[in-house]
Structure 1
Amino acid sequence: MSPSSKVIVFALILALTMVVNGVSAIFFVQKSSLTVLNSWAMGAKHDAAIATFGIPSYGGFMIGSVVYAGKGSYGCNSFNKTFKPKSPYPTILLIDRGVCNYPLKIWNGQQSGAAAVLLADNIVEPLITMDSPEESQDEDPHFLDKINIPSALILCSFGDSLKKALKRGEEVILKIEWSESIPNPDERVEYELWANTNDECGVHCNEQMNFIKNFKGKAQILEKGGHTLFTPHYISWSCPKELLHSMQCKTQCINQGRYCAPDPEQDFEDGYNGKDVVYENLRQLCVHRVAKEKNSSWVWWDYVTDFNIRCSMKEKKYSKECADTVVESLGLSLEKIKKCIGDPDADVENEVLKTEQAFQLGQENRGVITIFPTLIINNAQYRGKLERTSVLKAICSGFKERTEPPICLSADIETNECLEANGGCWQDKRFNVTACKDTYRGRVCECPVVHGVQYKGDGYTSCKPYGPARCSMNEGGCWSETKKGQTFSACLNSDTSGCRCPLGFHGDGLKCEDIDECKEKSACQCDGCKCKNNWGGYECECSNKSLYMKEQDTCIERRSESRSRWLFTIVGLTAVAGISFVAYIFYKYHLKSYMDSEIVSIMSQYIPLDSKNIHEESEQNRTEL
């Protein structure tokens, strides 16, 4: 590039910088996203600027223990060690800003086992957004894509407070919050992408095009269902007035220097120029407008994807003619799009691009668009890796709770973090009870409710059942043992929290041992008593077959039992005698009647008798009997 060309490029960038500096808020910073949980001295809430790389857990949060990498450890080289906190919480590594680029620091922090990295600013200034350089300075050119942990820049003052507390040996438990990073005012998410049609601008352009290709299907499903409203935007610059008639401005700008884009090859005399890029940016904006009029705004995703494939700048096919064929193949009106574009050579404002520049300078709390590409969801700038899963999760976190469309509940973005090492949460493997709960917004360690029994604890190291029904779950965490068919437990349903050894045992309730009442001489102290210890109790026996009365701890004779036996015997014998007497009378009566009838029968055969007399005599005998 010639010296004069470099001057023009610098002038274009300077023109934008001057406009940006006129706005109070340059960078979008997540407010109150850090909370110190265990130190009032450092205050509760602090701001942080999330990096444009890595994967923030949008819609969720992380609790971790802060570990300082050490003075002079800028993270520019591998730490060659693993940082471990004092507590079971994940590691949040604190590294100083300076010397090397942001992604390299975060990559080395991730390699050392950190779950998140905070960069402490080394100068007193407002927070800025950590962006990735055009080209990686690391030996591994693809390490940027491998960063999968969140990171953020914090103020110098807050970083100093953390370092001092850690130097005193204090443990700092920090909560990083992403649940409110994306506002969720209603049942529809509105989002926009600030892009560029130049596909030869290095890492950022590749990232943008890969994202559009991979996210197209998800975006169209959301938009066709009425769940989202998407709007594309394109960054443009303006040419300084003193350079309007220079060749450089004429090749990089349209509408007399009002809307410009840097030359793709940075060569103003050969190949494509910035004017071509601005023109295609405007065309893609008009494609969206025309498609929206047909209630099919999602066609924009098809156009951009197809244009990148069929009209690639790298393949020297980046032209108006190629773009027209893509427009016609999608059934859009070419005439309406040309009318929307207008005359790029006219010395007039272009309505579409003028509106774009106004949006670019920020509105309300949105902040100025200073990083390309930039995604804005519900007026909040998205930070993190621009890839399908991360962006879809961020968009889904923008829906009002319980109004997420089905696509937000798909396995594409729902990863069950509890499947790996139980998410670092408490677990009772014996009863398959865990404090790890996988939600759309990430895993949380919360003591569960199982079969109506509430567990209580920190969720990370301990959970114990609580309440009246707690004994039904693992005996409420209390001691319990079974021997010879007998089960004893230190859990009492009347006690909602504690453990007490049952009668016959002693201990703290978590461990109970049998009391030998016989050795302790606390039972069977009566005369003639013999004590026998059992598990969980005892038995007393009396000599001379006396009866032992436990309540009075005494023996009594069994007299009442002997009297009862004699009475029973007498009653029994009396009953037997009575039955025998009745049987004898009955037998005698029937025998005599039988004999009389037999005698009469025999005598009637030999001696004729008057039957009447015989009958009367027989009746008289019966009467006498």
Structure 2
Amino acid sequence: MADLRALLIVLTMISSASGRFVVEKNGVRVIRPEHIRGRHEGAIANFGVPHYGGTMVGTVMYPEKNSTACDAFGGTPFKSRTRRPVILLVDRGDCYFALKAWNAQRAGAAAVLVADNVDEPLLTMEDPEDAQASEYIEKINVPSVLINREFGETLKMALTEGTDRVIVKLDWRESMPHPDERVEYEFWTNSNDECGPRCDEQMSFVKNFKGHAQLLEKGGFTQFTPLYITWRCPEAFKLSKRCKSQCINRGRYCAPDPEHDFSEGYEGKDVVIENLRQLCVHRIGNATGRPWVWWDFVTDYHARCSMKNKSSLIVLIDKAFSQMAQLDVPGLPLDKIDKCMGDPEAGVSNDVLKIEQELQLGHGSRGDITILPTLVINNVQYRGKLERSAVLKAICAGFKESTEPPVCLSGDIETNECLRSNGGCWQHPKLNITACKDTFRGRLCVCPIVNNVPYQGDGYTSCEAVGPGRCTMGNGGCWTETREQTYSACLDSELTGCRCPKGFQGDGYKCEDIDECKEKLACNCPECHCKNKWGGYDCNCKGDLLYVKEEDACIVRNRLRFGWNLAILELSCVAGAGLAGYIFYKYRLRSYMDSEIMAIMSQYMPLDNHANEIESSQQHSTAL
């Protein structure tokens, strides 16, 4: 067993001898107080959920006691009572970084700044390989950032002075490159499920992220590549039993024994062979236009062929191929997969695994791959816990803004910033309408569209309904009040604005009754008596006089009756004149027209009259 540990140490040393670990960073900008304003850098932790693509503005607090946050605080002393969340500043030392974040989260903090206690370059805060830590490590949802000692001391000094609140902005927008409309990401994993919490974590992720991954891949939004770490056996150990049991191709590609025991279960070379098979499944699937089949194969393989049952290599291979056939994926021939894998016993390089070892070495802005599991998005190593919604948020941040696929705009990865004081956005005082919209990049203050009625404004202090139907939405934000009757400053005929109705004065958002009597706006005649009422007035006349509103005057009722009689007389005269005209038309004009018509017709009847005269003359002659 001691020899095995020695070999593992050698393999690890060889893999990282020329390794380069890259610390992924985010921005930390001090907004207040004025005299320490400026931008600094922080190192993103490998636990919690960084807000990739987004920002967080919060008030910094530093605990008077338990400054290292190694002990539970008790209660939620750092839960924000204002619109700004609390970003807790703690000191490095005495316990795991992750434990500090866990205690801060339980105390109500929204994020954690860990101030280094020595002057050194920033480093990545790792999650511990500890059985007790596994009880809380997956429950950490707040982002954590390591800052250098000098910056930490500056923040503490500003907090001690107490003249102004210390407000900082954590910015992850540039932590994830987003150059175009497609995201390339790779997942360094392992077919071994017997390596403890790490293996359980990666398999849980594959199973839970499968739906999102295939949706993104089928839509052409992402390009996914699975990758596997292998080590090369040192030349001095090639002929040893240890290398022979953990390596294929004569010591070129190795993996540790799953149980760390060569006498039971299956061996490290079984892991390498299964890694190779899964790589070929993706290669053949990609060549046939179905790269997403890898997710089906891997999840199904671990469900059917868990290494926890100590199966032999032959049983695993049989189950794997049987399982592949049951996938029923057209265009994924098993013979091509077998050809892709090659001969594990050959003494030459394997084309597929050779590429894997080359890709493990860092290049450009990215570091070496030395830890499993590792996720690389747009050539940047992902920091944070390997969890479905956290990873989806990071991938979505890799798209150029406004080109994100629909899955990135769903509620599944919202920041829920609108739950805290409505995100500082406008909210209707009576209706359940808000300008706050949660996205994976953070909350946006944008005036909404409700029931096809758009709102316009800055989204922070004001939003106003505009267009047809606006008065149905909270009366368009205008004044309205009901006493004996309802009055409103919102007019359906106008698409914007508010205007007080007749009888009221104001800006339309607040209207007050006009006292027409006091202002001498009506009922001003000597005999008038004015009485104001809400929205109008009543005007009465003395004695038997009658008030005429149009003339704003009081008149005698008999005079009014005389006026009506005169009007009736005038109408009678008009009616008589009309009747006379009709009679004239009926008789005089009609007779004239008849005579004219007879004159015209007589011009066409002379022959007939002449013939009658001749016939009459002849009859007379005969009689004689």
User: TM-score, normalization: structure 2?
Assistant: 0.71
Q: Corresponding residue for 1:534?
A: 533
Supply the distance in 2 between the matched residues of 1:39 and 1:495 (Cα, whole angstroms).
45
Give the Cα–Cα distance (whole angstroms) in 1 for the partners of residues 320 and 486 of structure 2. Answer: 82
More displaced, 261-270 or 88-97? Answer: 261-270
Structure 2 residue identity aligned to 1:381? Q
| Equivalent AA in structure 2 for residue 534 of structure 1 | K
Partner of 2:618: none
Show the 5 A alignment for 1:292-307.
Answer: 292-307=286-301
Deviation, structure 1 residue 28: 4.5
Aligned counterpart, 1:322 = 316
For the pair 1:78 / 2:72, whether they are aligned, the reply is yes
CA distance in 2, matches of 1:505, 1:378: 63
C-alpha distance in structure 1 between counterparts of 2:154 and 2:122, whole Å: 17
2:105 paired with 1:106: no
**Corresponding residue for residue 377 of structure 2:** 377
Cα distance in 1 for residues equivalent to 2:532 and 2:541: 15
Counterpart amino acid of 2:279? L
Q: Distance in 1 between matches of 2:9 and 2:463?
A: 65
Question: Does 1:145 pair with 2:138?
Answer: yes
Partner of 1:205: 199
Q: Which amino acid aligns with 1:150?
A: P
1:19 positional shift: 1.2
The residue that corresponds to 2:119 in the other structure is 124
Q: How many Å separate the matches in 1 of 2:345 and 2:159?
A: 60
- Give the distance between the partners of 1:518 and 1:533, measured in 2 at CA: 6
Secondary structure at 2:138's aligned position in 1? helix
Report SS of the residue matched to 2:18.
helix
Find the counterpart in structure 2 of residue 11 from structure 1: 10
Unaligned runs of 5+ in 1: 583-625
Bigger Cα displacement from structure 2, 103-112 vs 268-277: 268-277
Q: Residue 566 of structure 1: CA displacement?
A: 12
Deviation at 1:510, TM superposition (A): 6.8
Between the aligned partners of 2:290 and 2:495, the Cα distance in structure 1 is: 64
1:487 maps to 487
Say whether the 8 Å CA contact 1:435–1:445 is kept in structure 2: yes
Cα distance in 1, alignment partners of residues 138 and 561 from structure 2:
99
Please say if residues 215 and 388 of structure 1, whose CA atoms lie closer than 8 Å, have aligned partners that are also in contact: yes
Residue aligning to 2:306 = 312
Superposed displacement of residue 272, structure 1? 4.8
Change (3 A) 1:70 1:468: farther
- SS at 2:531's partner residue? strand
- 1:443 CA drift (Å): 4.8
Pairs aligned (count): 564
The residue that corresponds to 1:171 in the other structure is 165
Any idea what SS the aligned residue of 2:307 has? coil
- Structure 2 matches for 1:507-518, cutoff 5 A? none
What does 1:60-99 align with in structure 2 at a 5 Å threshold? 60-70=54-64, 72-82=66-76, 83-85=78-80, 87-99=82-94
**C-alpha displacement at 1:199, in angstroms?**
1.9
2: CA distance, partners of 1:570 / 1:15: 120
**Which residue does the alignment assign to 1:214?**
208
Residue in structure 2 matched with residue 614 of structure 1 by the alignment: none
Between 439-448 and 381-390, report the one with greater CA deviation.
Answer: 439-448
1:44-443 correspondence to structure 2 within 5 Å: 45-70=39-64, 72-82=66-76, 83-85=78-80, 87-137=82-132, 141-167=134-160, 168-178=162-172, 181-238=175-232, 252-254=246-248, 258-267=252-261, 272-319=266-313, 322-323=316-317, 325-327=319-321, 329-330=323-324, 332-333=333-334, 337=338, 340-343=341-344, 346=347, 349-400=349-400, 413=412, 417=416, 426-428=426-428, 430-439=430-439, 443=443
- Against the structure 1 CA distance between its residues 481 and 260, is the aligned structure 2 distance closer, same or farther, given a 3 Å change threshold? same
Q: Does 1:465 align with 2:458?
A: no
Letter matched to residue 208 of structure 2: N
Distance 2:499 2:291 in 1: 69
The answer for the alignment partner of 2:583 in structure 1 is: none
SS at match of 2:88: strand
Q: Deviations over 1:377-419 (max 9, x none)?
A: 22232333323343344434444556555665677x3669599
SS in 2 for 1:372: coil
- Report the Cα offset of residue 321 of structure 1: 5.3
| Deviation (angstroms), 1:185 | 3.9
Identity %: 50
Q: Distance in 2 between matches of 1:362 and 1:419?
A: 40
- 1:531–1:539: 8 Å Cα contact kept in structure 2? yes
Preserved CA contact (<8 Å) 2:123 2:146: yes
Q: Does the 8 Å contact 1:456/1:466 carry over to 2?
A: no
Contact kept? 1:194, 1:374, Cα under 8 Å: yes
Deviation, structure 1 residue 194: 0.5
Structure 1's 344 and 159: CA in aligned 2 closer, same or farther, altered over 3 A?
Answer: farther
Aligned to 1:610: none
Query: Which deviations, in whole Å up to 9, do the C-alpha atoms of 1:178-232 show, x marking residues without a partner?
Result: 5555444444432211012332222111111222233345434544454433211
Using a 3 Å threshold, how does the CA distance of structure 1 residues 475 and 526 change in structure 2: closer, same or farther? same
User: What do residues 259-307 of structure 1 show as CA deviations (whole Å, max 9, x unaligned)?
Assistant: 4434434456766554444444344334433444444444433443344
CA distance change for structure 1 residues 500 and 90 in 2, over 3 Å: closer, same or farther? farther
The worse-fitting range, judged by mean Cα deviation, of 62-71 and 365-374 is 62-71
Mean Cα deviation higher: 75-84 or 439-448: 439-448
SS at match of 1:193: strand
CA separation of 1:566 and 1:68: change in aligned 2, threshold 3 A: closer
Distance in structure 2 (CA, Å) of the matches to 1:383 and 1:361: 18
- Specify the alignment match of 1:604 in structure 2: none
Amino acid at match of 1:88: R
CA offset digits 1:436-488 (Å, max 9, x no partner): 324465653434355666454664xx545388999946467565433333626
Cα offset for 1:79?
A: 1.4
Specify the SS of the correspondent of 1:434.
coil
Deviation at 1:43, TM superposition (A): 4.5
SS at match of 1:428: coil
Kept in 2, the 8 Å contact 1:307–1:323? The answer is no
AA at the equivalent of 1:118: L
CA contact (8 A) 1:56 1:150 kept: yes
The code of the aligned residue for 1:337 comes to: D
**DSSP 3-state at the match of 2:145:** strand
Give the letter for the 1:149 counterpart: V
Deviation sequence 1:14-64 (CA, Å, 0-9, x none): 3333211xx4xx2241444x4555666555654444333334455554444
- Aligned match of 1:623: none
- Judge conservation of contact 1:79–1:112 (CA < 8 Å) in 2: yes
Q: How does 1:593-604 map to 2 (within 5 A)?
A: none
Q: Is the 8 A contact 1:507 1:513 kept in 2?
A: yes
Deviation at 1:236, TM superposition (A): 2.9
Secondary structure of the residue that 1:305 maps to in structure 2? helix
Amino acid across the alignment from 2:98: P
Report which of the two structures shows the higher radius of gyration computed on alpha carbons: 1
